Chain A
């Protein structure tokens, strides 16, 4: 879209004369705030997300994170900030391109333009101080970029943010983010009082003077926009009657750990999983929990195993490279039948890959990882809310089946915020107390039930239960076994537990009609984007449905029947698959995406796949394009 009627900026009108503002009613909008890192755009974006949630809007926020902690100032790759998608109704994903962006310099903005993150004609609120910069190269680069953006049809408003902030504070670099927040509140017709309260909450740990200064800046930004901006948006809201929680996926996971009654989390720092442990470190000890920062990932996993073996169930939280290191220990937990919850917040791989970017690349290594046959349960939450409840479910399964349960989240869920109904604590979420009653005479440590593979758990402290747990093949008495029959029997028992769990699962629900022309299958964090696109097609009368898998190992019953109801089936994933149009790709060498490969082998359906690993969350528009191709 080319905007011929490029609205001219209004920078001169800083004297408080109110301009005529054109009000527009919108169903939804995507807003970005970007800056160099350390300029507070993250805080501005998060606060904005919370304010719009309190206004009753649907919202989904996405962090924009550069790969380095402090990239050089004014660098194209250094954009740090937040993207907020506001909607009339519930918002389930980060959406497509950005409609409005606040940028603190033109270079970080350029980075967003080049990676096609801005909608054509996007409104840009740009810090204008660089136009008069003492350094001619900065000045020239600014003017050049500004001219390019205008020529490209973006609606650029030059705003003297620092200059305006200087009227209130001496160090305006630290206050500009709240000024920007104020402008946004005005632009989106938000309640200023709710915004003031949010700022007070955001700076709640700071002094009253700091809070007041920031509120002053917020109000200044609000007033400036009221006086100078010639547009205003209104998005209808539908207020809920239930209290909502606004947290990102990592905080939701950590809250789940707290709620599940787990007492120990063993971890080693790794992006993007670490913030879950940061949050737990602060919150956990109030209820008697401990976050143990081990010397490495292997130690963290072994520590968690030791603590779980000693009586309850422990969690270790990590991301791809750490998950790789834990593999041997995970195999030990499988062999010893020790309950263990492992959270893998996936990032781009392999190797150190893309630490701050999202990907669903670890599904195969999770299901087949650790050497030998090491069956474990794999759960992939699809929403922020599911991040919370998946931990409670995982602990229960781990303790009921004495198994390793892996939760596969990813950077997309980890850093995104979406409101969900405030959980109400249920005592049943908690682990039972440590069993110290005597083991009945004759009971054996691995007395596998022939039908389910389950055996009772022996916990140190139980008289009569003494045995040596071993990672070696063992018999029912936990004695090291060299007999081939015994190994076969042990493997069977450990594997059977997956089938026993599968028998307890509900068949998944199809999103849309249970039969049709096309079924799109996804898993994990892509749920919102896929369902949004599918819904659009359905509104257009197309016979498209989707299926989202939360349990990936074991897969729930009923999938085969669902698959049989569709003419064509395709998975859409954030991992690698070959493009069948590539010159040397054919049916004999095509590599399928992870879930497609699993489904094809399990259900013997000709399931197609489409995937990308660009490090960005899947966009509904991308899903739309893929569906259109699949339907043609």
Chain B
């Protein structure tokens, strides 16, 4: 169990943690209003399964998102959720985690939300290295605002804002992430291989630090054929496996025969792999378990008491106090 409690009713919570068992249904809420065939559905299924398997307490779990199709995910989780404003999911999640390190905090974001309006936060989230699990739902198009080019749209993508095809080279979220100092966990997966999707989400959750997962996903409404070549040809997927990475099941290995044994400690090779979009590398590209987490570096585990505040305040006030003549003071 990952969660540790330091709140007033800690003993009560600890007791409940081991007593309660939740089924997948306990983490489900409402009927997702995503389009049929949307990759978001697969991601939702994977995280609900993760919650069940890890026995996460719904009340101790928070899904944070920004704006976009991806960011509707917290609404379908029967946990705490925070569906905020465009691009700003990460700083909200960081605030939650710093204030309450015992909560399990997930971030769901899209390619526009993360790589465009929220790019500054994304880069700095990697630097902070807080113990968050971030899923970038990357469908290479703006969905909720109805088909505009995204920073990850491949060159030539026709959209409402690029009717003659997008003219800029796509941004590669993996190479960006791997280029930031303090990076601690980087993985990539595609929405149509649920077994690997689940394994990657699970590894990211267990990783202590900022886990970045780019999930290449389909948008059946605006780019319905975009991923077909990769879906229909398993040879265009490069499966990464390693004893410190993913285990590939025999049945999967039969289909996806293009594999590489990649040690996630190898940054140079990770960067090489990351730069490929055909075949799409799938698996854990990089991982460093030894980078300190921001909340551990910053957060003093002492419980704050009125006594502490009183003493702290008085010590500060002493520095600025003009005492009347004859007054005694400490």
Q: Which residues of A contact B232 (CB under 8 A)?
A: none
Cα-based distance from A437 to B92 in the complex (angstroms):
24
CB distance B313 to A255 under 8 Å?
yes
Report the tally of A-B residue pairs with Cβ distances under 8 A. 214
A251 within 8 A of B: yes
Q: Which residues of A contact B146 (CB under 8 A)?
A: none
Closest to B30 in A: A479
CB distance A332 to B310 under 8 Å?
no
CB distance B317 to A244 under 8 Å?
no
Q: Which residues of B contact A314 (CB under 8 A)?
A: 95, 99
Cα-based distance from A480 to B99 in the complex (angstroms):
27
A309 within 8 A of B: yes
Cα-based distance from A332 to B85 in the complex (angstroms):
7
CB distance A310 to B95 under 8 Å?
yes
B243 within 8 A of A: no
Cα-based distance from A300 to B77 in the complex (angstroms):
27
A306 within 8 A of B: yes
Closest to B26 in A: A466
**Given A422-B321, A460-B103, A466:B95 Cβ within 8 A:** no
CB distance A255 to B324 under 8 Å?
no
Cα-based distance from A437 to B93 in the complex (angstroms):
23
Cα-based distance from A311 to B80 in the complex (angstroms):
13
A423 within 8 A of B: yes
Q: Which residues of B contact A298 (CB under 8 A)?
A: 88, 91
Cα-based distance from A77 to B44 in the complex (angstroms):
61
Cα-based distance from A419 to B78 in the complex (angstroms):
53
CB distance B94 to A303 under 8 Å?
yes
Closest to A258 in B: B313
Q: Which residues of A contact B171 (CB under 8 A)?
A: none
CB distance A437 to B9 under 8 Å?
yes
Q: Which residues of B contact A437 (CB under 8 A)?
A: 9
B323 within 8 A of A: yes
- CB-contact partner of B95 in A295, A303, A461, A472, under 8 A: A303
Q: Which residues of A contact B299 (CB under 8 A)?
A: 290
Q: Which residues of A contact B323 (CB under 8 A)?
A: 243
A 407-447 binary contact with B (CB < 8 Å = 1; else 0): 00000000000010011010100100110110000000000
CB distance B310 to A425 under 8 Å?
yes
**Given A239-B324, A312-B99, A436-B7, A468:B74 Cβ within 8 A:** yes
Cα-based distance from A469 to B321 in the complex (angstroms):
45
CB distance B91 to A264 under 8 Å?
no
**Given A299-B121, A425-B314, A243:B324 Cβ within 8 A:** yes
CB distance A305 to B313 under 8 Å?
no
B49 within 8 A of A: no
Q: Which residues of B contact A467 (CB under 8 A)?
A: 80-81
Q: Which residues of A contact B97 (CB under 8 A)?
A: 306
B 23-38 binary contact with A (CB < 8 Å = 1; else 0): 0000000100000000
B285 within 8 A of A: no
Chain B 1-52 residues near chain A, CB threshold 8 A: 7-9, 12-13, 16, 30
CB distance B83 to A425 under 8 Å?
no
Interchain nearest-CB distance for B11 vs A (Å): 11
B329 within 8 A of A: yes
**Given A290-B299, A466-B58, A468-B82, A329:B88 Cβ within 8 A:** yes
- CB-contact partner of B93 in A243, A290, A306, A419, under 8 A: A306
Q: Which residues of B contact A433 (CB under 8 A)?
A: 7-8
- CB-contact partner of A263 in B63, B80, B85, B304, under 8 A: B304
Cα-based distance from A464 to B78 in the complex (angstroms):
10
CB distance B99 to A264 under 8 Å?
yes
Interchain nearest-CB distance for B73 vs A (Å): 9
CB distance B329 to A469 under 8 Å?
no
Interchain nearest-CB distance for B212 vs A (Å): 16
A 274-312 binary contact with B (CB < 8 Å = 1; else 0): 000000000101111110101110111011111111111
- CB-contact partner of A303 in B91, B320, B321, under 8 A: B91
B62 within 8 A of A: yes
CB distance A54 to B322 under 8 Å?
yes
- CB-contact partner of A261 in B84, B303, B309, B316, under 8 A: B309
CB distance A305 to B95 under 8 Å?
yes
A 51-76 binary contact with B (CB < 8 Å = 1; else 0): 00110000000000000000000000
Cα-based distance from A310 to B82 in the complex (angstroms):
10
Cα-based distance from A247 to B321 in the complex (angstroms):
9
Q: Which residues of B contact A430 (CB under 8 A)?
A: 306, 309
A 322-342 binary contact with B (CB < 8 Å = 1; else 0): 000000110110001000000
Cα-based distance from A433 to B83 in the complex (angstroms):
25
CB distance B98 to A264 under 8 Å?
yes
Closest to B93 in A: A306
B327 within 8 A of A: yes
**Given A299-B120, A425-B309, A309:B304 Cβ within 8 A:** no
Closest to A284 in B: B312
A93 within 8 A of B: no
Interchain nearest-CB distance for A269 vs B (Å): 15
Q: Which residues of A contact B79 (CB under 8 A)?
A: 466
Cα-based distance from A286 to B308 in the complex (angstroms):
9
- CB-contact partner of B100 in A286, A288, A310, under 8 A: A310
Q: Which residues of B contact A331 (CB under 8 A)?
A: 85
CB distance B82 to A306 under 8 Å?
yes
Cα-based distance from A471 to B99 in the complex (angstroms):
21
Q: Which residues of B contact A23 (CB under 8 A)?
A: none
- CB-contact partner of B59 in A263, A300, A463, under 8 A: A463
Interchain nearest-CB distance for B280 vs A (Å): 30
Contacts A/B (CB < 8 Å), 10 sampled: A259-B309, A302-B84, A302-B95, A303-B94, A305-B95, A306-B93, A307-B98, A423-B317, A461-B100, A466-B80
Residues of B within 8 A of A (CB): 7-9, 12-13, 16, 30, 57-60, 62-64, 74-75, 77-85, 88, 90-100, 102-103, 120-121, 123-124, 298-300, 302-304, 306, 308-317, 320-325, 327, 329
Additional A-B contact list (5), CB under 8 Å, known A50-B322, A263-B99, A309-B82: A288-B303, A298-B88, A461-B7, A461-B103, A468-B83
Residues of A within 8 A of B (CB): 50, 53-54, 239-247, 251, 255, 258-259, 261, 263-264, 266, 283, 285-290, 292, 294-296, 298-300, 302-312, 314, 328-329, 331-332, 336, 419, 422-423, 425, 427, 430, 433-434, 436-437, 460-472, 479-480
